[in-house]
Amino acid sequence: MTRPALFLLATPLLAACDGPLSTLRPSGPIAADIAFLWWVMLAGAVLITVFVLVLLVLAFGAPRRVQARAWTHGLGLWFSLVILSAVLGAGLWVGERILPRDDGAVTVQAHAFQWGWEFTHTDADGQEVQTANLLHIPAGQPVDVLITSEDVIHSFWVPQLAGKMDAIPGRTNRTRIEANAPGAYEGLCAEFCGIGHARMRFSVQAHTDWPPDLSEDDDTDMQEGAP
């Protein structure tokens, strides 16, 4: 295909993957790792689907002499095991990279309730600052979020930064997120929690300076989120 044609094809496809809540437009290393894993798995799935369809097409026609074990053991057992082991290995490897760990990362808190979020971070004086539906985090470093719930199960999710983690009453869950660049990112509740679930949204503001100075209306560290 010619370069312009490829470009014409790619642009709408790439545009189709865009959006403030898109997992395919990662803005941080964790979301990027997962997105890469997705593209690899998609490629594999396409190949396997085509392979099975080709086998089906070839099945039509005169009867053939077949070796039962080639199908049941060769394909069914070994072919599957090899592919599945590879994908499992990739998943475990990526999983290890994205988990929270004890490395002194900045910690913030997210408290979910029907139907909103109360976030807490520590400012320069060591005081806890609470914000409604807006989470402040530092940019360019991992942040661990401690997630709790007031009432029913909710879920904390910022798709451009990381995977989701549920907010369960009676428990504190911990997840790690990271934004590459300062800016605003969108988040949502991802566990059905009643009438207000659809509108239970929040935003994340990543700052170059940490702890952030929220007293002025200074926009120097509040640029547009990375595409």
Partner 1 sequence: MTDATTPTVAPERAAPVTLARNPSQRALGLHRELTRVWRNDRGLWGQITAVNHTTLGLRFMGTALIFFAIGGILSMLIRTQLATHEGAFLDTDLYNQIFTMHGSIMMFLFAIPMLEGLGIWLLPKLLGTRDMAFPRLTALGYWCYLFGGLIMLTALLFGVAPHDGWFMYTPLSDATHSPGINADVWLLGVTFVEISAVAAAVEITVTILRQRAPGMRLTEMPLFAWYMLGTSVMMLVGFPPLIAGSVLLELERAFGWPFFDPTRGGDPLLWQHLFWLFGHPEVYIIFLPAAGAMSMIIPVMCRTTILGYGAIVAAILALVFLSFGLWVHHMFTVGIPHMALAFFSAASVLVAVPTAVQVFAWIGTMWKGRPEMHLPMYHILGFFLTFVMGGLTGVMLAIVPFNWQAHDTAFVTAHLHYVLIGGFVFPMMAAATYWLPLISGKRRIKGLGEAAFWVILLGFHGTFFIMHLTGLLGMPRRIDVYPDNPEWVWLNLTSSIFSFVLTIGFAMFVLDLILQVTLGKRERRDPWRAPTLDWAMPIPSPSYNFASIPTPQHLGHTARNAVLSLARGEGALPGAPKGRRELLVTSVGDAQPHHVALLPGNTALPLGLSASIGVFVLLMLAGQYALAGLALVPVAMLIWVWARGMAPAGDLGRVLVAPDLRLPVHHRVHPSLGRTGLSAFLVANGTLFVSLMFGVAFLSVVTPASVPPVAGAQTLSSALGLGLIAIALALAAGVARTPTRGAVALTLGLNLVALLALLWLAFSQMDDPTRHARDALRAVVAGYVGLHILAAAAMAAFVLDQFRRGEIDAQTQGALSALQLWQGFTTAVALISVLVLGAQVVLS
Identify the residue among 110, 145, 177, 188 touching partner 1 (CB under 8 A).
188
The CB-of-35 to partner 1 minimum distance in angstroms stands at 8
Instruction: By CB under 8 A, tell whether 192 contacts partner 1.
Output: yes
Q: Residue 97 in contact with residue 109, Cβ under 8 Å?
A: no
Q: Which is nearer to partner 1, 155 or 207 (CB)?
A: 155
Identify the residue among 122, 197, 208, 223 touching partner 1 (CB under 8 A).
197
Q: Interface residues for partner 1 in 132-161 (CB under 8 A)?
A: 151-153, 155, 157, 159
Q: Interface residues for partner 1 in 34-73 (CB under 8 A)?
A: 34, 37-38, 41, 45, 48-49, 52-53, 55-56, 58-66, 68, 70-73
Identify the residue among 4, 12, 104, 170 touching partner 1 (CB under 8 A).
170
Q: Interface residues for partner 1 in 76-135 (CB under 8 A)?
A: 76-77, 79-81, 84, 87-88, 90-92, 94-95, 98-99, 114
Q: Which is nearer to partner 1, 11 or 80 (CB)?
A: 80
